[in-house]
Structure 1
């Protein structure tokens, strides 16, 4: 028996569901409605279109075989009717109709449905500050605005830009302006760090330092208060609480909010933050209405709480789940970990699961293993350091998250993706230690970096390793009198250690090369707590084990060592 399916929204989840439905039920009538004229595009690719990595906006709307996904494509190739420039006004759940309006003619009509899907996406949040309506102020809400931004830059109308918001989109836009176009760019973030809630502070700091090294001015703990007019009607500068920044173009990238007004007006359940509530079949509180994509509330697999994860990858998977269930093929969407990855110039940063800070807020007995190994075999020519942090619960030994920062290559995505799969299944520290990863020297070490992080976590859980948290160590470096009995024991080559001994004095920074500890340990003071320092951490751990065996000296290991410190931009680091 044929059914009428109406899908509101035609960017990611909607088109995926529509095409899947026509493959499962080719006799059904599927109609997509969208208020835009451009549909089914890769919104996550917008910064790369602005930067020039994607040369033309049509590439964001094209299939892998280079056919643009417009209304004609869906009708002739997929059998799906698409109504563009058509706004959905209201849902009548009793009559099972959707009132729609043609935005060009103003004509309204009711579309009947047997089953309805809401794929209304999310809208960017606009700061309610003076000057937000000036020309030259943009949000990244659709492809039209991206086209206009790139047009202005290409025409030479933009020499200075301010990006408000240090999330992924804001950082990607700042890179796009700086890297290809040479625009003088400033990035503002209200929170104390970039990528708030996505990574812990030291990972955000490493990213910030790389952006600064590449010419982006970054100000955290600071946001725009007023946008000031320059030429008549045109933005000319941005005033914060600390400075005034000249700007020909301003991008607001301060997050998005689910578009759930239709759902709320129809009496469907909506989470406090605005996401449409769905079950694991992605049904709303009305069994005949499904929802997917950036408009819904998802369940976090570790906390069990509602969360908002606006990603095109998730939207596509959710669209398939909706189609399967509509067609009578039971399928479940269990939830998300919030896996995330992005590039910034030559660096890559990624995470999955909970940060250490978030895990502790959620009540876990959380700790972390911070490591800094090579991203492939140490003898391979282009090996580079990757910083990994495994977050775990000490009581249950369950892994709660993984964060990574390193070169822009495949080493980070491979580890974070593997971690996401294992965390979703309840993986423990021991499971991560035994995780089988493909090995060859161009791709990894014989002891894979994710296994090595698990070994550190295991040692911490079993109290074989005592570490000093990075934040506490950095605080001590700012005020060494705060811990008067502490001193660094630098285990690196004397040439590496000597500048620090000269700078801080031998009483605070003691040099004793790793290979000489067994012969010269008697020179160490029993009245000090030594912070063991090497490049990555393994040598420090071995020395701690040896000194514990003797029982004469108290030590703490700085996990990650100088490989982490060198990436933080601290003023005492000697390059």
Structure 2
């Protein structure tokens, strides 16, 4: 029996649900409505259009076979009645109709539905400050915004850019402006680190250090007070100073577009997301919702979370398309996987950070390693830093984050753990997880197995580690009386011993058993090597010899250097 399905929203989830449903029920009618001029585009690609890596804006709208996904495409190729520049102003659940307004003409129409899909997406969070409407202040939320930003830069009227917010889009835009256009870029962040909420401080510092080396400036722990300018934007004023700028990008997150749903009496969460079950049904069984306007279940914590990602919207769209046709497809939830490319560095994660795990009520520990990501003897290799978060007692793995110059290799590690997280893996599962091995691609003891082993050593008390962030604070404190034992060979360790007499001592790990008398027993001792392997061996030796104030610096000098710690 044919039915009429109305879809509100035509960017990611809407088109996916429409096309999937039409393949299952070709005889049914689908009407897709969106208020924007252009539909079905990859919004996550906007920074790459601004940078010039995507040369034409239609590249973000095109299929893999170079057809632009406009209303004509959906009509002729997908048999979907797609109507752009058409805003839905009301939902009448009792009559099962929506009121739609054609924005160019103002013409209103009442459209009946058998099933309704809410794919209304999100909108940029608006800061409560003056100056947001000045010319030259932009958000990154549409193809029209992308064209306006790129046109201004290409015209040569922009020499400096201030970016408010250091999340994914903010940092990607920083890369686009600095790398491709050579602009002066300053990122202003309210928190004390970049990528707040998704990385720990050590990995965040590594990513920031890399971006600073590429010319991007950061102003952390600063709150924006207002944006100023005479006829156009000229500066951003914070609680700690002023940032001069010819353009300002505001990228401080998004909020779900759920007002229509709330007005129609559908269940909406306190944070504003539409509530759905595993079938993506709302509190009305004839109405489905997905994408950026809904909340989903976090499969690690079991609690609701908001995760506005195009990849998730597409997966949910297929589930909804199946269920519109009478299927029993389910979207059980997410673990929160993400990745971002920052110049030459890949940064990625899945699950919880240590701070996130603590907030969720877990008694958790984070284990950091920095090591070569493939066989050390293979000519092409790079350093990778991983941080594994696990629960004490149960040994359950809660998350994994990392940074690497080999971004594809990093994503492989993250995706492996992401696939495991719904099954509540333990540290032992990570230690023994099977991964493909060949020297050009991995080490015989894969770095993923290694971080699992390192976490196991910490959880069992065999290894006592300190993060680079903690080490840096103590090292910079002249009153901390920190003593470093450098376990590397003399060629590497002796120069630092000479530079920091009385604080830095070079005792190669192979000589340590015969030089125990040189290690102070009445002061905190930090063991250092290249990556943490030899310092762990040294810790075992010293612990066996009765030393109690000894810890190993996680990730060693590789992590220290990547984080920009001045030793």
Measured against the shorter chain, the TM-score band is over 0.9
Structure 2 Cα separation of the partners of residues 184 and 548 of structure 1: 51
Structure 1 Cα separation of the partners of residues 373 and 467 of structure 2: 23
Partner of 2:362: 364
Q: Does 1:473 align with 2:468?
A: no
SS at match of 1:323: helix
Partner of 1:103: 103
Structure 2 Cα separation of the partners of residues 525 and 205 of structure 1: 31
The offset of 1:303, in angstroms, is 1.4
Structure 2 Cα separation of the partners of residues 159 and 557 of structure 1: 46
SS at match of 2:372: coil
Partner of 1:521: 516
Runs of 4+ in 1 over 4 A off after TM superposition: none
Structure 2 Cα separation of the partners of residues 187 and 468 of structure 1: 29
Partner of 2:486: 490
Whether the 8 Å contact between 1:126 and 1:139 is mirrored in structure 2 is: no
Partner of 1:296: 294
Structure 2 Cα separation of the partners of residues 403 and 296 of structure 1: 25
Structure 2 Cα separation of the partners of residues 568 and 14 of structure 1: 42
Whether the 8 Å contact between 1:13 and 1:319 is mirrored in structure 2 is: yes
Whether the 8 Å contact between 1:525 and 1:553 is mirrored in structure 2 is: no
The offset of 1:445, in angstroms, is 0.6
Q: Does 1:500 align with 2:496?
A: yes
Per-residue deviation, residues 424-480 of structure 1 (Å, max 9, x unmatched): 211111111111111111111111111100001111121111223444322211224
The offset of 1:554, in angstroms, is 4.2
- Give the one of 533, 536, 546 matched to 2:531: 536
The offset of 1:552, in angstroms, is 4.9
- Give the one of 406, 427, 430 matched to 1:429: 427
SS at match of 2:515: helix
RMSD: 1.3
Whether the 8 Å contact between 1:294 and 1:311 is mirrored in structure 2 is: yes
Distance 1:553 1:569, change over 3 A: same
- Give the one of 345, 355, 373 matched to 1:347: 345
SS at match of 1:412: helix
Partner of 2:177: 177
Partner of 1:549: 544
Whether the 8 Å contact between 1:498 and 1:511 is mirrored in structure 2 is: yes
Gaps in structure 2 of 5+ consecutive residues: none
Partner of 2:328: 330
Per-residue deviation, residues 508-541 of structure 1 (Å, max 9, x unmatched): 2211012211332333233333211111111111
The offset of 1:97, in angstroms, is 0.3
Partner of 2:75: 75
Partner of 1:14: 14
The offset of 1:285, in angstroms, is 0.6
TM-score between the two structures when normalised by the length of structure 1: 0.97
- Give the one of 253, 256, 267 matched to 2:254: 256
Whether the 8 Å contact between 2:390 and 2:397 is mirrored in structure 1 is: yes
Partner of 2:194: 194
Structure 2 Cα separation of the partners of residues 187 and 552 of structure 1: 45
Name the stretch that deviates more: 374-383 or 259-268: 374-383
Per-residue deviation, residues 172-202 of structure 1 (Å, max 9, x unmatched): 0011011111111111111111111111111
Structure 2 Cα separation of the partners of residues 309 and 526 of structure 1: 49
Partner of 1:282: 280
SS at match of 2:554: coil
TM-score between the two structures when normalised by the length of structure 2: 0.98
Name the stretch that deviates more: 432-441 or 527-536: 527-536
Per-residue deviation, residues 283-305 of structure 1 (Å, max 9, x unmatched): 01111100010010011111122
Structure 2 Cα separation of the partners of residues 472 and 250 of structure 1: 34
Q: Does 1:149 align with 2:145?
A: no
Structure 2 Cα separation of the partners of residues 222 and 93 of structure 1: 46
Whether the 8 Å contact between 2:367 and 2:387 is mirrored in structure 1 is: yes
The offset of 1:216, in angstroms, is 0.8
Whether the 8 Å contact between 2:164 and 2:252 is mirrored in structure 1 is: yes
Q: Does 1:569 align with 2:564?
A: yes
Structure 1 Cα separation of the partners of residues 368 and 548 of structure 2: 24
Whether the 8 Å contact between 1:501 and 1:509 is mirrored in structure 2 is: yes
Whether the 8 Å contact between 2:468 and 2:560 is mirrored in structure 1 is: no
Whether the 8 Å contact between 2:178 and 2:215 is mirrored in structure 1 is: yes
SS at match of 2:479: helix
Structure 1 Cα separation of the partners of residues 275 and 154 of structure 2: 43
Distance 1:553 1:261, change over 3 A: closer
Name the stretch that deviates more: 127-136 or 100-109: 127-136
The offset of 1:493, in angstroms, is 2.3
SS at match of 1:101: strand
The offset of 1:553, in angstroms, is 6.0
Q: Count matched residues.
A: 567
